[in-house]
Amino acid sequence: MNIIEDGILLVDKQPGWTSFDVVAKIRGMRRAALKETGVVPTKRQLKVGHAGTLDPFATGLLIILLGDATKRSDEFLKQDKIYEATIRLGQVSSTGDPEGELTAVSSIQPTEVEIHAALEKFMGQITQTPPIYSAIKINGQRAYKLARKGQVVEIPTRQVTIHSLDLLEYNYPNLKIRTHVSSGTYIRSLAQDIGEALGTGAYCSELRRISIGKMTIDSVSAIL
């Protein structure tokens, strides 16, 4: 695996893996590689982290930080990101993605003109409510852990910026978008909000992260 600069490794995460799974896999690979050379790994050498979680169903760019580079996590978390996503109309999901409980909402089939009009509403700075199944901390605990226990989770709204939101393909019930967003934007929430604007309901069925700041999927050196 090629490290593009001091302690930074770009990974194309595959579906089914959690971000922690990738971190654990790379830590194990580093440990094995060092032992093969007769070196006893130090804690510093085995220090591995990531700069921005990807949901298990999602794919794409995951920045892995090694050793002292783990201190740079906040630097990448604050940068803009580009995603490609498939939004499925007509249903909602309890988690906003394919892993949740699906509920039918409407059989309305919006026209492409209506799709473009709905997307236009979300351009610029918007108010967004992150999903309850997210890693956001509520009173010191991850929101998704509270939700899984059946507790009521109230997520505060936040201001995010949608720099661009382009329709790539529309074949009902699926519409594919490419969007450039500010840090802190949840594409699952964006998908749900688009579904509400169309009156159809919607959830994010596929999600792929293309870039984080200047780091792009084209520069990955590992697929996990």
Residues 90 and 61 in one domain: no
pLDDT of residue 147 exceeding 80, the answer is no
User: Quick check: is 158 in a domain?
Assistant: yes
126 and 114 in one domain?
A: yes
Can you give the residue range of the structural domain that contains 140? 81-212
Judge contact between 191 and 204, C-beta under 8 A.
yes
Residues 98 and 208 occupy one common structural domain: yes
pLDDT for 220 equals 86
Together in a domain, 154 and 181: yes
Find the mean pLDDT for residues 84-100.
Answer: 96
pLDDT of 3 higher than 70: no
Mean pLDDT of 132-139: 66
pLDDT digits 0-9 by tens, 106-130? 999 999 999 999 999 999 999 998 8
Q: Is the pLDDT of residue 145 over 90?
A: no
Same domain for 71 and 26, yes or no, is yes
Distance CA 191, CA 181 (A): 13
In total, how many domains does the chain have? 2
| Whether 170 and 180 share a structural domain | yes
Interval 170-218: pLDDT, tens: 999 999 999 999 999 999 999 999 999 999 999 999 999 999 999 999 9
Element (H, E) at 203: strand 202-212
Give per-residue pLDDT as tens, 28-67: 988 888 888 887 878 887 899 999 889 999 999 999 999 8
Same domain, 39 and 129: no
Contact 216, 62 (CB under 8 A): no
Shared-domain flag, residues 87 and 55: no
Band of residue 149 on the pLDDT scale cut at 50, 70, 90: low
Q: Please, which pLDDT band fits residue 166 given cuts at 50, 70 and 90?
A: very high
Asked, for residue 3, whether it belongs to a domain, the answer is: no
Q: Is there a domain that residue 44 lies in?
A: yes
Burial class (CB in 10 A: 0-12, 13-18, 19+), 164: exposed
In a domain, 1, yes or no: no
**Residue 168 belongs to some domain of the structure:** yes
- DSSP secondary structure code for residue 3 in this structure: -
Residues 71, 104, single domain; the answer is: no
* 2: in domain: no
- The structure tokens listed for 128 are 């967004």
Tell me, yes or no, whether 68 and 90 share the same domain.
no
In this prediction, residues 79-98 reach a mean pLDDT of 96
Asked if residue 138 and residue 75 are part of one domain, the reply reads no
Q: What pLDDT is recorded for position 205?
A: 98
Instruction: Name the residues annotated as catalytic.
Output: 55
| Residue scoring higher pLDDT (162 or 68) | 162
Asked if 43 and 153 sit in the same domain, the reply is no
Question: Is 30 within 8 Å of 1 (Cβ atoms)?
Answer: no
Tell me, yes or no, whether 198 lies in a domain: yes
* CATH code, domain with 12: 3.30.2350.10
Q: What is the pTM of this model?
A: 0.89
Does residue 35 sit within a domain?
Answer: yes
